[in-house]
Structure 1
């Protein structure tokens, strides 16, 4: 084969290596760590790749060094070809250099950069395996040089006063959420696990008012109640701790633990309720739940009373309420499970007034929002501007809400009818 033919073959081979190195670099930056972890369980190449994906600095340096060296060789070979033609046709050195530069630039940009980089970006995980296999022998050769150059670069940056720090895997909460969504699509994260992770992120933004048991639902004991009345209330409610008040609920004087009362009764003594009360713990409605959780853990407190801006009791919150924000509803042996949503027909449902608006939106794929309300009952109170009577109705976002039950100045249950889902002439019953 002639010298020209050998040079042409050399250029083609070098361009292929340049394409492989570029594709590998692009795929490395655009690949998913979760996806590589999955593939590493089945393929040894991806197992090796996983370590470089986690700490890519030296690896990428080796790829860049190899790519630049190959591109230099391409330039040298093309210049040699140009010299052969210049001697044949009597071209000047300036023309030879210009032609060699143009040809090298076009070939490297098109075949060594643009096309492989696009493929590596579009198919990162699929590109990584083959390209890494080709590059691996070169990596073992280039690794010492890449390490030395990396240290020199770090030293020069230090001299210039530029601090380098390890890049965070996640730069923002949005990136984490994207990875969770990707993990769900890849089948690595189950639905319940996803909900729990999202709950943890929302935990820090949640305030006590969002999770507390409202004032009207508080089961409390009047200090003037006799023992039989107290025991009857304990039996009916199945709670283990009760706020105890004097005259009115806003004047809570302590918390009665059922176990403390039972200890006294077991001794066959007449209990003095005031003597066995534990000190109440008060928190504002606006306190963040994560901060409250830390305080309750530190002080071993199980129940906290919530006060509003006027100093009145607006609700109470327990450790269990806080934990349910992360893990979901916790049912114990005394809980009576009630469905917050009961299906009446294809387009009508009975909904609990305490059902969370966000959960309603997720269940029915709608976008209801309240100014301050977090429950369906609260949302309807905002729309009515008063406490409605049973049978009254209001239309919100193509959903007709009919008040079913009202008790103790709150909406207990409503009927939700999805008008847009009904066929013409169909009854809403």
Structure 2
């Protein structure tokens, strides 16, 4: 009877080890590396341990494999010994089938599916909690693993001419996105924590240049044959620091002139002409930033699929995709306010409700919003689509222009 208890205890212990190695492997694979590095910077023991283990992830996976298989072999021997006293089947094949079925079902459910599902659902918490135990087995099994790895690499190298090169693992986009989502959930109650910039930065690789360029109709440019006085005048009118130079038409841009070069008192525009990079409108914003950094430039000529000028783009245009609109001392904000008929108006969405009430005698109920755009969005409970018609109280709103975050232009009709 004592031997039976020992067998039961041994089986339970080996099942726990099987569950641990199977679960810790899944937790390690799904753990967020950025979170681990932050814990390390904070001096937390689990972060220090896990950071060391993540320096060689393949080794840790191998350690889990070694531990799992050792526990599995011991489990099989103990189960076989236990079943000798329970099942008295004369047919050896029938006994093998019954022993295998029961032991397999037990190890798959208790040692594989349930632990993996649990560890995967709580990967960061579980990997942090079991970090000391994982480090213990790592240190004990590492010499054995190195023997197996060396043997395997020798076979790959000398028999199959395959060389294993373990590169440095970097943070993936998934790591950062998961960390951002996790931080949002934890810091939702803290209004001072603004993670919009990081989220915008994550979306930057998905943004094409065509989405943020200055279109060709808004390009400020000067013909190469013009005089220095002409470009002086252009700089004064536009308040820009760079003016594009073209020959013949805007589809043939030669370069640009920087306003600082005019202090050199050049004789002609060509003498201070600087080369401009050419990029396709399908390039993404991240590649453009890398190109600007590499070439030490901050402006590029954007061409369309036919080789014509689609527009121009600057580093400031790209950065505005992360930080929002960047204004300098020469930027002016113009709001549209036009009365079409006695009870019809066109307004910019950013006009304040108080201003509309004073100027046009339009009455709006008390609302948390300060602008017309905010009032419509709050009442409509979502950002409307262009050309959508909305009726709120005694006003009919025709949405003319909408951005991702607000209503830019709206037509209002006062209903009688």
TM-score (norm: length of structure 2)? 0.65
Shift of 1:145: 0.8
| 1:52-82 deviation digits (Å, cap 9, x = unpaired) | 2342222222222222222222222233333
Farther-moved stretch of structure 1 (330-339 vs 101-110) = 330-339
For structure 2, the 5+ residue unaligned runs are 185-193, 336-347, 354-368, 375-381, 391-396, 402-406
> 2 CA distance for matches of 1:323 and 1:349?
25
Task: Tell whether 2:198 aligns with 1:193.
Answer: yes
CA contact (8 A) 2:156 2:162 kept: yes
Equivalent residue number for residue 378 of structure 1: none
| 1:142-164 deviation digits (Å, cap 9, x = unpaired) | 22111111222233334245565
SS of 2:410's equivalent? Answer: strand
Shift of 1:28: 1.8
Superposed CA RMSD in Å reads 4.8
Task: Tell whether 2:5 aligns with 1:13.
Answer: no
CA contact (8 A) 1:79 1:97 kept: no
| 1:15-46 deviation digits (Å, cap 9, x = unpaired) | 22222222222222232223333444363134
- Kindly tell me: are residues 161 and 414 of structure 1, through their superposed partners in 2, closer, same or farther at Cα, counting changes over 3 Å? same
Task: Tell whether 2:110 aligns with 1:114.
Answer: no
- Kindly tell me: are residues 121 and 367 of structure 1, through their superposed partners in 2, closer, same or farther at Cα, counting changes over 3 Å? farther
Equivalent residue number for residue 124 of structure 2: 125
SS of 1:145's equivalent? Answer: helix
For structure 1, the 5+ residue unaligned runs are 265-270, 351-363, 369-394, 404-412, 419-425
Shift of 1:116: 1.6
SS of 1:415's equivalent? Answer: strand
SS of 2:243's equivalent? Answer: strand
SS of 2:125's equivalent? Answer: helix
2:209 aligned to 199, 206, 209, which one? 206
Structure 2 counterparts to residues 118-267 of structure 1, below 5 A: 118-158=117-157, 159-160=159-160, 164-166=164-166, 176-187=172-183, 190-199=195-204, 201-202=205-206, 205-207=208-210, 211-218=213-220, 220=222, 227=229, 233-243=234-244, 257-264=258-265
Equivalent residue number for residue 415 of structure 1: 409
> 1 CA distance for matches of 2:267 and 2:135?
80
| 1:344-378 deviation digits (Å, cap 9, x = unpaired) | 5679549xxxxxxxxxxxxx75677xxxxxxxxxx
Structure 2 counterparts to residues 343-422 of structure 1, below 5 A: 343=351, 348-349=372-373, 365=383, 395=387, 400-402=398-400, 415-416=409-410
Structure 2 counterparts to residues 75-90 of structure 1, below 5 A: 75-84=76-85
- Kindly tell me: are residues 77 and 38 of structure 1, through their superposed partners in 2, closer, same or farther at Cα, counting changes over 3 Å? same
TM-score (norm: length of structure 1)? 0.63
Report the count of equivalent residues.
358
CA contact (8 A) 1:261 1:276 kept: no
- Kindly tell me: are residues 157 and 396 of structure 1, through their superposed partners in 2, closer, same or farther at Cα, counting changes over 3 Å? farther
> 2 CA distance for matches of 1:181 and 1:108?
35
Shift of 1:240: 3.2
Shift of 1:260: 4.1
CA contact (8 A) 2:228 2:269 kept: no
